[in-house]
């Protein structure tokens, strides 16, 4: 996977693509990823609505992909590491200040790995 800095930089490049760019992930982890994001950002109504939509799709045997860069920018917790609310939540979860986006990303990755 690489270092947190490399992963953060890679996702930043993807996030810079045009908003309507379609994203086709090679796996179907959308529900688990949305649940993890909701644990970090529980007040996000858009994330809550998307998680519910994903569950409906999966329970009907439908894929949750593709998505768009625009949607990923709004809902993918790893693309939101520069947001103060996300940094604060991650800092609280790990018990240390991780306000720098790369450090937030690294701590978030550790939390996800252990979820």
**How far is Cα 67 from Cα 58, in angstroms, rounded to an integer?**
14
Please write the tens of the pLDDT for every residue from 31-54: 999 999 999 999 999 999 999 999
Instruction: Return the DSSP state at 16.
Output: T
Please write the tens of the pLDDT for every residue from 8-21: 999 999 999 999 99
Q: Is the pLDDT of residue 1 over 80?
A: no
List the domains of the chain with CATH numbers: 4-113 (3.60.15.10)
pTM above 0.85, yes or no: yes
List Cβ neighbours of 51 (8 Å cut-off, separation of 6 or more). 31, 34, 35, 37, 38
Q: Quick count: other Cβ atoms within 10 Å of Cβ 50?
A: 20
pLDDT of residue 115: 85
Please write the tens of the pLDDT for every residue from 55-110: 999 999 999 999 999 999 999 999 999 999 999 999 999 999 999 999 999 999 99
């Amino acid at each position: 996977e690489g270092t947190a800095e490399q992963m953060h930089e890679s996702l930043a490049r993807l996030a810079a693509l045009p908003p309507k760019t379609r994203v086709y992930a090679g796996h179907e982890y959308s529900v688990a990823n949305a649940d993890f994001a909701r644990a970090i950002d529980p007040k996000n109504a858009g994330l809550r609505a998307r998680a519910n939509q994903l569950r409906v799709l999966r329970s009907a045997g439908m894929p949750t992909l593709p998505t768009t860069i625009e949607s990923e920018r709004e809902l993918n917790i790893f693309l939101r590491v520069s947001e103060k609310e996300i940094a604060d939540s991650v800092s609280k979860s790990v018990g240390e200040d991780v306000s720098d986006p790369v450090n937030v990303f690294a701590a978030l990755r550790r939390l996800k790995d252990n979820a």
